[in-house]
Amino acid sequence: MAIISILQPYMEGFLRTPMFNPLVLFTVLMFSLLLVKLIKSSKYNLPPSPPRLPLIGNLHQLGSLPHHSLRTLSENYGRLLRIHMGKSTAVVVSSTELVREIMKTQDTIFANRQKTIVADVMIGWNSGECVSELLSRRRLQQLHYIKEREVKVMIAKLQESCINEKVAVNLGEIFFNFFIKTLYEFAFGGESGGEEFCKQFTRILLNISELLQSFSFREIFPLISWKDKFTGLHAKLKGTFKETDAFLDRVIKEHEYRMKSKNEQFEEKDCVDVLFVLKTVPCSISPWTTSRGSL
């Protein structure tokens, strides 16, 4: 008790000093954390980054046309710059030489990219051996023949439109249809489902493309990821997944029926046929079965 009575005047004096003010302590703490972060980040040779705001980072600088905003930022900060979007950090590349270096020369280093919520829901299977077979020289040669045929069809349609209708032609729509038909036949074959299947496949691709461009709280602000339920993102993800699931089920059943009916005369024509053949060959990377997930 004697010790406490001796120290009490000193403690009261310390509590009355300006340094004990909660605001001062908070400022000192934040400054210390910022200093530690600056020292830690100085160890890495990172690309330049525009000034950012707390929590949101550089989101306020992207605007309604992000590609225009990123071009402007690249003019000020260089062909390789770093931007912060909430919790996530992205590197913006605006040079063909650097893109070639990243996507081709140093692809193995940059291949480990962050997964999005759309990729987590829509993509669930990966096997290097099977992918290498799907993209083999023989398969790519088959794709060349498909593209060659579709180009002839596209040119014929353009000629017909110019001669008969003599009106403006939507080249964007024509090239998009060319891409869809080429991809559809390469993946599922020309015999799969006909025009109805192709239209459904187009709708699924458009929905997935729209979802990939959607804003997700989970990717930017993980602490409030529950807000994605109120933006409609979860509902659209589930709807697109169910439609894709049903579409692939129909494709699988159709190919199974075709394989059983042809027996030994079966010939690989598309990627699904290749997957059925690979089903009998065990993949050392990840064993799989013919199902929604593996296809």
Do 157 and 214 fall within a single domain? yes
Do 149 and 217 fall within a single domain? yes
Expressed as residue numbers, the domain containing 94 is 47-114
- Determine the Cα–Cα distance for residues 212 and 116; give it in Å rounded to an integer: 8
199-255 per-position pLDDT tens digit: 888 888 888 888 877 777 777 777 777 777 788 888 888 888 888 888 888 888 887
Total count of domains within the chain: 2
With a cut of 60, say whether residue 145 has pLDDT above it. yes
CB 131 within 8 A of CB 120: no
With a cut of 50, say whether residue 164 has pLDDT above it. yes
Please name every residue paired with 53 in a beta bridge, in sequence order, or none if there are none: 57
Do 84 and 199 fall within a single domain? no
Do 265 and 143 fall within a single domain? yes
Do 64 and 201 fall within a single domain? no
How many other C-beta atoms are found inside a 10 Å radius of the C-beta of residue 93? Answer: 19
- Determine the Cα–Cα distance for residues 262 and 128; give it in Å rounded to an integer: 29
For residue 163, what are its two tokens?
């001669």
Do 204 and 74 fall within a single domain? no
Return the SS3 of 20.
helix
Do the domain assignments include residue 293? Answer: no
Do 79 and 156 fall within a single domain? no
Do the domain assignments include residue 180? Answer: yes
Do 200 and 73 fall within a single domain? no
Global pTM value:
0.60
119-130 per-position pLDDT tens digit: 666 665 555 555
Do 262 and 132 fall within a single domain? yes
